[in-house]
Amino acid sequence: MPDEVITSLEQVTVEWLTAVLAHSGAISDGAVAAFDVDTNRGNWSSNATLNVRYVAGSQGELPRRLFLKMVNTDLEDECFGPSEVTYYTRDYAGVAGAPLVHCYHAAYSAEKQRYHILLDDLSQTHVQAAEKAPTLAYGLALAEGLAAMHARWWGAQRLAEAGAPIHNARHVRRFVDIAEPGAGHILNQCSAELEPHWPGMIHEFYARHPQVMIARSQDGNGFTLIHGDVGCTNILAPREGDRPIYIIDRQPFDWSLTTWLGVYDLAYALVLDWDVERRRRLEIPVLKHYHTHLLRHGVANYSWEQLWDDYRLCVAMGIYIATEYCRGGLNEQFQWVWLPKLQRSLTACDDLNCRELW
């Protein structure tokens, strides 16, 4: 079985494709005859769609369209690890209902600081969720998928077994410290875009919220392996209908939170990307559905009341996400991204009285 990390398309041959597809069970007999390539780029990757043809008489699943993602994990002052590889190959292997695209092969090299993943290409049936207005049915599908994933590593004991213990206070502080300079740049130059009481709320938030996060982490119930970036550009939604959805691109930086309250992933999706009125109308039904499915997957002793408080704690964390965009100065190029996220997060803090938590 070839285990070399693919760093360029020149390494992808019919022999390599035949070997990896046979090893995955997608070819039970026969071989790849040829393939055509369409290339593209992501934020941190080089990507290619492979249109595959097979030798006559080949048998098996025989996928016709594959998506190859090649990633350089070295970003100078920060880096990715093998998280996306283990996401597909280990963390949720065999988990019923996990919303993952089928992976045929993946490999990571710490020495080369590279990895690749080979997935089904779903571009003919799915689009980024950003291209569709979210519905209740979509929110329920997202809640079900996240509950299936989160239940797998729920609690401090399972996280320790996964080699991913709950973050200590130092890591939490680093996560906060990365984002905090951005708040200063925004308040100095964009206060007019905020409600009059929000600048004071942001100052209070940075002064008090981190310690509440640290205190909450002393009780492992509610903590799990998270995706951490469940934004509408990292969710694939069907072109028609609301199911199935797929959550892609788990690429945490070395300072990111990777083990945290599971409901953070849902808060990220509902608060940062959904318009305020839609979030207000649908968040409780979606959260209730998430809680119900956690219980169905075997999570015990996690009450609705605890989930609600954890959700409110995580809603406020959208402030970190939005302000981090400006950590090196006011990010005017992406103001259309971070400013609505900040405004939605602060609005949700007002709606849910999150400030009483700190």
Tell me the two tokens of residue 325: 């965009």
Do residues 78 and 255 make contact, with C-beta atoms less than 8 angstroms apart? yes
In this predicted model, what pLDDT tens digit does every residue of 249-293 receive, in sequence order?
Answer: 999 999 999 999 999 999 999 999 999 999 999 999 999 999 999
Name residue, tokens 């640290």: 214
Helix (H, G, I), strand (E, B) or coil at 74: strand
Determine the Cα–Cα distance for residues 179 and 208; give it in Å rounded to an integer: 15
Give the pLDDT band of residue 212 (cuts 50, 70, 90). Answer: very high
In this predicted model, what pLDDT tens digit does every residue of 214-253 receive, in sequence order?
Answer: 999 999 999 999 999 999 999 999 999 999 999 999 999 9
Q: How much is the pLDDT for 316?
A: 98
**Mean pLDDT score of the chain, rounded to an integer?**
95
Q: What are phi and psi of 123, to 5 degrees?
A: -65, -20
Q: What are phi and psi of 307, to 5 degrees?
A: -60, -40
Helix (H, G, I), strand (E, B) or coil at 323: helix
Q: What's the rounded mean pLDDT across residues 185-191?
A: 97
Instruction: Collect contacts of 104-109 with beta carbons under 8 A, ≥24 apart.
Output: 104/20, 104/21, 104/24, 104/26, 104/63, 104/66, 105/20, 105/23, 105/24, 107/3, 107/4, 107/5, 107/6, 108/5, 108/81, 108/82, 109/5
Domain ranges of the chain: 9-120, 128-357
- Residue of higher predicted confidence among 337 and 75: 337
Q: What's the rounded mean pLDDT across residues 95-115?
A: 95
Helix (H, G, I), strand (E, B) or coil at 50: strand
* Number of residues that make up the chain: 358
Tell me the two tokens of residue 87: 């996401």
Q: Which fold has domain 128-357?
A: Aminoglycoside 3'-phosphotransferase; Chain: A, domain 2 (3.90.1200)
Q: How much is the pLDDT for 74?
A: 79
Do residues 351 and 308 make contact, with C-beta atoms less than 8 angstroms apart? no
Give the pLDDT band of residue 39 (cuts 50, 70, 90). Answer: confident
Task: Let me know if the fold of 9-120 is the same as that of 128-357.
Answer: no
Side chain identity at residue 146, one-letter code: L
Q: What are phi and psi of 232, to 5 degrees?
A: -70, -15
Determine the Cα–Cα distance for residues 235 and 269; give it in Å rounded to an integer: 10
Do residues 125 and 239 make contact, with C-beta atoms less than 8 angstroms apart? yes
Q: How much is the pLDDT for 167?
A: 97
Multiple choice CATH, 9-120, 3.30.200, 1.10.8, 2.40.160, 2.40.50: 3.30.200
In this predicted model, what pLDDT tens digit does every residue of 159-183 receive, in sequence order?
Answer: 999 999 999 999 999 999 999 999 9
Q: What are phi and psi of 330, to 5 degrees?
A: -60, 120
In this predicted model, what pLDDT tens digit does every residue of 111-162 receive, in sequence order?
Answer: 988 999 999 999 999 999 999 999 999 999 999 999 999 999 999 999 999 9
Tell me the two tokens of residue 320: 């970190």
Determine the Cα–Cα distance for residues 319 and 230; give it in Å rounded to an integer: 15
Cis check for the bond before 238: say yes or no (omega within 30 of 0): no
Q: How much is the pLDDT for 44?
A: 61
Radius of gyration of the chain (CA): 21
Residue 143: name the closest of 239, 285, 278 by CA. 285
CA angle 253, 255, 256 (to 5 degrees): 65
| Range with the poorest average pLDDT among 42-46, 54-58, 136-140 | 42-46
Q: What's the rounded mean pLDDT across residues 296-325?
A: 98
In the predicted model, is pLDDT for residue 337 greater than 80?
A: yes
Q: What are phi and psi of 229, to 5 degrees?
A: -150, 55
